[in-house]
Amino acid sequence: MEMNNKPIGVFDSGIGGLTVAREIMEQLPQESIVYFGDTARVPYGSKSRETVTRFAFEGLNFLLSQDVKMVVVACNTVSATCLEELKKYSPVPVLGVIEPGARAAASGTYTGTVGVIGTERTIKSQAYVKAIHDINRDINIYSKACPLFVPLVEEGWLDNEAAFYTARTYLTPLKKEGIDTLVLACTHYPLLKPTLQAVMGENVRLVDSAYETAKEVSRMLKVMKLERYEAAPSVYRYFVSDDPTKFIEVGERFLQRPIDPINVIDPEVPCQGLKSKGRKSE
């Protein structure tokens, strides 16, 4: 297959990366996608750097075995932990989610006061603080780890009482700081956008790193002349590392399209995607 017509690989620790996949589908409907969600080992945000790095390389190698032309690391934890290592290793371009989100936050704030919410590892890394300050050192940034948001999304609890209570608890300190822009520094978090917006109020802009990342994917494909030109319809394939039931239930509601085919694979087994070891979920 010619390089242009190969699919884009999207990797996340679980279901959150579907926010990036959806934006790519909407902005680049002609492109095919291979998605891998490491649902057996989610969340990544509370794990050590060494563990996250190992999981990231296993995810990257799986997608490379699927003959992709680009890999989008749709996971802020991985992007904050080992993105440069993945880029050096990969024979195809690798794009993370931090730089696009940081640029949108820096250009969108009108008071110079920005909030960042993410997993414990992403917040401790200060990756967004560094990226935003590389653009504008004068922006005040207030960060908050929100570890319970990922399991809420994975459970499909997007707008119930538990989601609102958790959001109010996490976000009230940021509201008191007077932020006008809130960066959703985890690709799971856009699934909670209605709840987060209700808690923060309409005057606070939510920066969706998934949307910004898809825009960057489009730009990179054009620059590298890798846009798909094949006349056949785009194809979306999904892989997970554990029981796909919840992934399908939440993912289909969010994507508004069937998640089929879907296969369960073991990311620790090298190149198994080429050996048909996945099983299709009925």
Q: How many CB atoms lie within 10 A of CB 163?
A: 23
pLDDT beyond 80 at 273:
no
Phi, psi of 160 (to 5 degrees): -95, -175
Report whether 45 belongs to an annotated binding site: yes
**Average confidence (pLDDT) over 149-163:** 90
Confidence class for position 256, pLDDT limits 50, 70, 90: confident
- Strands (E) located in the chain: 8-12, 33-37, 70-73, 94-95, 113-118, 140-145, 181-185, 205-208, 236-240, 262-264, 279-280
Residue 188 pLDDT: 86
The residues assigned a catalytic role are 75, 186
Confidence class for position 269, pLDDT limits 50, 70, 90: confident
Treating both helix axes as pointing N-terminal to C-terminal, what angle do 193-200 and 161-176 enclose, rounded to 10 degrees? 40
Report whether 266 belongs to an annotated binding site: no
| Residue 17 CB partners (closer than 8 Å, separation 6+) | 10, 11, 35, 37, 74, 75, 187
**Average confidence (pLDDT) over 42-71:** 95
Residue 272 pLDDT: 54
Report whether 187 belongs to an annotated binding site: yes
- Rounded mean pLDDT of the chain? 92
Phi, psi of 73 (to 5 degrees): -85, 95
pLDDT higher at 45 or 279: 45
**What is d(CA 37, CA 255) in angstroms, rounded to the nearest whole number?**
15
**What is d(CA 76, CA 97) in angstroms, rounded to the nearest whole number?**
6
Report whether 76 belongs to an annotated binding site: yes
Report whether 13 belongs to an annotated binding site: yes
* Domain at 3-97+212-281: CATH code: 3.40.50.1860
Residue 280 pLDDT: 39
Residue 282 pLDDT: 36
pLDDT beyond 70 at 62:
yes
Cβ contacts of 82-91, under 8 Å, gap ≥ 24? 82/49, 82/52, 82/53, 82/56, 82/57, 85/53, 85/57, 86/56, 86/57, 86/60, 89/57, 89/60, 90/60, 90/64, 91/64
Per-residue pLDDT reduced to its tens digit, 79-113: 999 999 999 999 999 999 999 999 999 999 999 99
Residue 271 pLDDT: 59
Residue 20 pLDDT: 95
Report whether 12 belongs to an annotated binding site: yes
Report whether 67 belongs to an annotated binding site: no
- Tell whether domain 98-209 is in CATH 3.30.360.10: no
pTM, rounded to two decimals: 0.86
Kindly state the percentage of the chain with pLDDT values over 70: 95
CATH 3.40.50.1860 in the chain, residue ranges: 3-97+212-281, 98-209
pLDDT higher at 268 or 27: 27
